[in-house]
A and B are shown apart, each in its own frame.
Chain A
Amino acid sequence: MTTSLWKLVGAAAAVALFGISEAEAQAPIKIGASLSLTGTYAKPGTYQKEGYEVCADELNAKGGLLGRKVEFVMYDDQSSTQTAQRLYEKLITEDKVEAVMGPYSSGITESVAGISEKYKKVMVSPLAATTSIFRQGRKYIFMVISPAEFYLEGLVDMGAKRGLKTIAIINEDTLFPKATVVGTEELAKKRGLQVVLREAYPKGNTDFSALLVKIKAVNPDIIAAATYFDDAVAITRQMKELNVNPKMFGVTVGGDIPEFYTLLKQNAEYVYGSTQWDEVLPYPGQKEFLSAYQKRFKHEPSYHAAAGYAGCLIYAEGVKRAKSLDADLVRAELLKLKIRTAFGDYAVDQDGFQTAHKMVMIQWQDGKRVVVWPDDLASGKLRFPTPPWSQR
């Protein structure tokens, strides 16, 4: 024990005598973020944090950023906008972080965007999908995932290519699904599809009979539903009950997660779901990300983790190209940057609004998620058209 103590003192003395100037130059770059580690967003928020951590590990293994180590300072905002606001103030003014990364969810991102702007910090926000956040003339915020409006682009595109003519669009009556249907309707009209029905239902609705009867009466080729999860399950089930038989049926959130199949079993077959990312996609760096993530966290990453990871890499790329942490220089580089990461493509317009990232569509086939759109990323063939319930 005494020897180890002496060693420690010796080491400390050595650092004190010879290492000071070097240590100062080598001080890590502190990047701050608040994430929802408890509360409603605990699951996705934690995944996002894990994504940031894998990114920091990777950067450090490759010699850090601008020759300095990268260190994340992260706090739990308890899924609350007020707490997040306080934490970003604290990170910037007290912890003196040199950069920040975005929190989880559109709502919290919107509430803290004013703070990063005020202190002129670039904030790459990997998990904010609401368009309006990026249309307020803010200078330092950057978007990574595809906006809500494009969630069902794949469904519309595949249907239009196969000569389908009519589409019914339904949604839960909340912010995100509403934005999705606005986008879907526009995309559908552009592709010459006729929107034969558009209707919203309240959050928490469980009985879709009347809505489905109305849909059945107009008999659309495609049913596009901007859903969360419970509603996606209920609609699928009640479509079978009421014998509603579109040629394609796609949902947004919920359709891509394993529980969708666990709950619906074979009734989930042929259903399309949209997702920001899937681990089977052939993106560069995908394998490295998956193995590093699984090694560290012992479970499969969700798209939240992948987006967090990629967002952090994108920021790092901006810093590398700017050769500086200066917000204006990094911003200029991020506006120009076009890159494909493990999460897919990145490119933004002058507002920092994402223009390159593609949503992918999956289809449930024999109990597995198969990526069927876009063509260059597809992992399998589309099963089209969806057969009527009576012939399954």
Chain B
Amino acid sequence: MLGQVVISGLLAGALYAMVALGLGLIFGVMRVLNVSHGPLLMLGAYTTFWLFQWLGLNPYLSLLVSMPLLFLVGMALQRLFVRRVVDAPELSSLLLTFGVSIAIVNLAQLAFTADLRSVEYLTGSFVWGPFAFSKSRVIACAFAIVITTGAFLFLRRTRLGKAVRAVSQSREVAQVCGIDVGRIHMLAFGIGSALAAAGGSLVAVMVAIQPEMGQVYTFKSFLVIVLGGAGNYPGALLGGLLLGLIEQLSSLFLTTQVNEAVAYILLVLVLLVRPTGLLKGRA
């Protein structure tokens, strides 16, 4: 029983990690907590749904559409709105992205209606001994690992990635070194949104799609980056897996009702004891 629950937790956790990395990246680079992260994930899920509905496109192939699409949407959001509050107090950016989030959800309600949708593509599981591995969750986990690794390699190895990290370490120094900070901000917002979109496309196969599905991922991602250390990118991975495990284990040993409470109590504890996160984040 424990084994099965750990499996479920890790599978969910990898996905959380990928989505949270997007939020963490935006926060790290701009000090903007993007409340519309979850709604962007929802848009990714709808992209997959419509492509599946209209063209019968394989939901996993639709990642190739949803990620670039939301990358552009993210850049546009940054250019049009978020850019104006980067240097403002953090409350302004919270309010702004909160507004954007409400707008996106309501527009989605108008455009797609509030009806539940689903992509019935892969259901059921691989059974291995006493364990069941949900097909859609295993594949989502695999994609999440690949995409997250890709994002890490980009940040570690490429010149552009290094520039992103430089801006998140110190904007002034980066600017002095000749990095176009404005461009990096747009890029980071684009990548962050694309990661959310990837999460959306992957959960589209697992859960019902509706305009309000995203918000919960904003909170989960927030929890993950605080657990892992805000601004610490590998921390997101640790935080994600940890959140997945906590949710499942507290459901198992306590009840499903309290799993969110447990996760948030842990959040408060981390903030009290290790305010920089489990892996040291940038203060």
Contact = CB atoms under 8 A, between A and B. Distances in A.
A210 B127 contact: no
Given A241-B137, A243-B125, A243-B132, A201 B4 contact: no
A72 interface: no
Contact of A200 (B124, B125, B207, B256): B256
Interface in A186-222: 199-202, 204-211, 213-214, 216-217
Interface string B1-41: 10011001000100000000000000000000000000000
Interface in A222-256: 229-230, 233-234, 237-238, 240-243
A390 B127 CA distance: 10
B158 interface: no
A389 interface: yes
B208 A233 contact: yes
A186 to B, nearest CB: 21
A131 B125 CA distance: 41
Contacts of B115: 259
Interface stretch (A22-30, A58-66, A133-141, A262-270): A262-270
Interface string B78-90: 0000000000000
Contact of A210 (B5, B137, B206): B5
B252 A214 contact: yes
A210 B115 CA distance: 27
B58 interface: no
Contacts of A265: 120
B80 to A, nearest CB: 31
A389 B117 CA distance: 23
A333 interface: no
Contact of B257 (A200, A216, A237): A200
B97 interface: no
Given A211-B251, A241-B124, A263-B208, A217 B1 contact: yes
Contacts of A199: 255-257
A215 B121 CA distance: 26
B257 A201 contact: yes
B136 A241 contact: yes
B124 A240 contact: yes
B134 A242 contact: yes
Nearest to A241: B134
Interface string B230-255: 00000000000000000111011001
Contacts of B8: 207, 209-210, 213
B175 interface: no
A173 interface: yes
A36 to B, nearest CB: 16
Contact of A264 (B117, B120, B248, B251): B120
Contacts of A213: 1, 4-5, 8, 252
Nearest to B256: A201
Interface in A257-314: 259, 263-265, 267
Counting chain B residues whose Cβ lies within 8 A of the other chain, the interface size class is 20 to 34
Contacts of A390: 127
Contacts of A241: 123-125, 132, 134-137
B124 A211 contact: no
B216 A206 contact: yes
Given A202-B260, A210-B5, A213-B5, A237 B123 contact: yes
Nearest to B215: A204
B256 A211 contact: yes
A182 B15 CA distance: 36
A201 to B, nearest CB: 4
A183 B5 CA distance: 30
Contacts of B210: 230
Nearest to A170: B256
B118 interface: yes
B256 A204 contact: no
Interface centre among A173, A214, A265 (most CB of B within 10 A): A214
Nearest to B255: A199
A280 B135 CA distance: 38
B116 A259 contact: yes
B256 A202 contact: yes
Interface centre among B1, B124, B208, B256 (most CB of A within 10 A): B256
A202 B208 CA distance: 17
Contacts of B117: 263
B116 A229 contact: yes
Contacts of B132: 241-243
A12 to B, nearest CB: 49
A233 B257 contact: no
Given A242-B125, A263-B118, A200 B5 contact: no
A243 B127 contact: yes
Contacts of A233: 116, 118, 208
A216 B257 CA distance: 18
Contacts of A214: 1, 251-252
Nearest to A204: B216
Given A242-B132, A263-B120, A207 B12 contact: yes
Contacts of B127: 243, 390
Contacts of B207: 206, 234
User: Which 8 A-B pairs give the minimum distances between C-beta atoms?
Assistant: A210-B251, A241-B134, A209-B8, A201-B256, A263-B118, A243-B132, A210-B252, A210-B248
20 contacts: A200-B255, A200-B256, A202-B260, A205-B256, A206-B207, A207-B12, A209-B8, A209-B251, A210-B256, A213-B1, A213-B8, A214-B252, A230-B208, A240-B123, A241-B124, A242-B134, A243-B132, A259-B116, A263-B116, A263-B117
Interface of B: 1, 4-5, 8, 12, 115-118, 120, 123-125, 127, 132, 134-137, 206-208, 210, 216, 247-249, 251-252, 255-257, 259-260
